[in-house]
Amino acid sequence: MFNSKAIEECCKLLRIDMIVRAHQMKQNGFEFSDNRKLVTIFSAPNYSGSNTNLGATMNVMANGKISFNLLKNHQKIDKIAEKSSSITGSVD
């Protein structure tokens, strides 16, 4: 769906490690793509009452490490800690 080269160039231009996006249903609540430069998060579990998908929220710690809270039927079921290096960049 996204051009890997464009994502890489955008991250480099903006001096960020990752783009975080939403509004696309993901079965497991989140999904990485493009060498972990892009993550899609979907926070609505059991979307439209007809899907069995999980929801997720993403946490970014002060040191840049990330983790995900997984949601099932609007209840937290698990927390997945990422072992990846920190995320850099800022939003002004």
Give mean pLDDT, residues 9-38. 94
Local confidence band at 20 (pLDDT 50, 70, 90 cut-offs): very high
User: How many domains are there within the chain?
Assistant: 1
User: 15 — alpha (psi -120 to 50), left (phi > 0) or beta?
Assistant: left
This prediction's pTM: 0.76
Residue 51 lies in a domain: yes
pLDDT tens digits along 43-66: 999 988 877 899 999 999 998 899
Looking at residue 48, what is its pLDDT? 84
**Which pLDDT belongs to residue 92?**
33
Q: Which residue has the tokens 């710690």?
A: 61
Report if residue 89 sits inside a domain.
no
Q: Which domain holds residue 71?
A: 4-81
Whether residue 88 lies inside any domain: the answer is: no
